[in-house]
Amino acid sequence: MRKALERSTLQKVYDRTAGRYDRQHAFFTLSSDARGRRMVVEHAVDEGDKVLDAGAGTGGTALLAARLAGKHGKVVCYDLSQGMLEVAEAKAREAGLSGRMEFMAGDMLKMPFLTGSFDAVVSTYSLCPLYDPAEGARELYRVLRPGGLMGVAHSAEPRNMLVRLCAHMVESVAWHIPALTLGCRPVSVLPALKEAGAEVLFEDSIGVPLWPFDVFVVKKPS
């Protein structure tokens, strides 16, 4: 796995990209990113849930979760980049969902939440830029309550060998332009979650051939 960008670099890159992030991410993923967000929320969030969206960015997934959790639910948007969170807050106000959402800046690898404090945890495309994605996944799992669901979408290696070779060639050039890659690289986190005792309820692969996404939902046994 390629070494991650420094945390301070990531923070700057996302602060600067915030205004165009939605358009840029949708363009490079041919809008398959939106499908991953819907899959995660539909499979992991229930009415009345207290939800954590870790690496919430501009709030695409959090807004879907806030609608599904309903007026008795709550969604905490947690992200390293204040710029991304400001865009998310503006979208929440526009959608009339501010009352169901909270916004907090911080590092996903070390969150200030109590163990087992969320009914559902979601994270879309946010484990990919982390220095240690498996540790990030374990931290998300820690704050999930027993019996709760965790839904994740992240960049993955193409399964076909030729496509993978092609993707590596493109990536070796693109990686030098952080504003383009946003520090995202293919990762694998499900083995770490299985090791921690997670039960896999749903697993799929979506996206474009050069940039596929793994999408899955796990349950923390009661």
Out of 28, 51, 57, 73, the residue judged to bind ligand SAM by CB under 6 A: 57
The reply on whether position 206 binds ligand SAM by CB under 6 A is: no
Residue length of the chain: 222
The least CB distance from residue 160 to ligand SAM, in Å, is 24
Query: What DSSP string describes 117-172?
Result: -EEEEEEES-STTSSSHHHHHHHHHHTEEEEEEEEEEEE---SSHHHHHHHHHHHH
CB neighbours of residue 115 within 10 Å:
9
The reply on whether position 207 binds ligand SAM by CB under 6 A is: no
Residue closer to ligand SAM, measured from CB, 141 or 146: 141
Q: Judge whether 193 and 136 are in contact, CB under 8 Å.
A: no
The least CB distance from residue 56 to ligand SAM, in Å, is 5
- Count of residues near ligand SAM by CB under 6 A: 24
Cα distances (angstroms) measured from residue 18 to each of 86, 98, 112:
8, 19, 24
Out of 69, 80, 137, 144, the residue judged to bind ligand SAM by CB under 6 A: 80
Structural element, H or E, at residue 174: helix 161-174
Residue closer to ligand SAM, measured from CB, 25 or 100: 25
Out of 45, 130, 134, 150, the residue judged to bind ligand SAM by CB under 6 A: 130
218 secondary structure, DSSP code? E
The reply on whether position 88 binds ligand SAM by CB under 6 A is: no
The reply on whether position 10 binds ligand SAM by CB under 6 A is: yes
The least CB distance from residue 58 to ligand SAM, in Å, is 6
CB burial of 164-179 (b: ≥16 within 10 Å; e: otherwise) equals: beebeeebeeebeebe
Q: Among 209, 213, 106, which Cα is nearest to 151's? A: 213
* Piece of the chain touching ligand SAM by CB under 6 A; list 118-126, 141-149, 172-180, 212-220: 118-126
* Site residues (vs ligand SAM, CB under 6 A): 7, 10, 14, 25, 37, 55-57, 60-61, 79-81, 84, 107-109, 124-126, 129-130, 182, 184
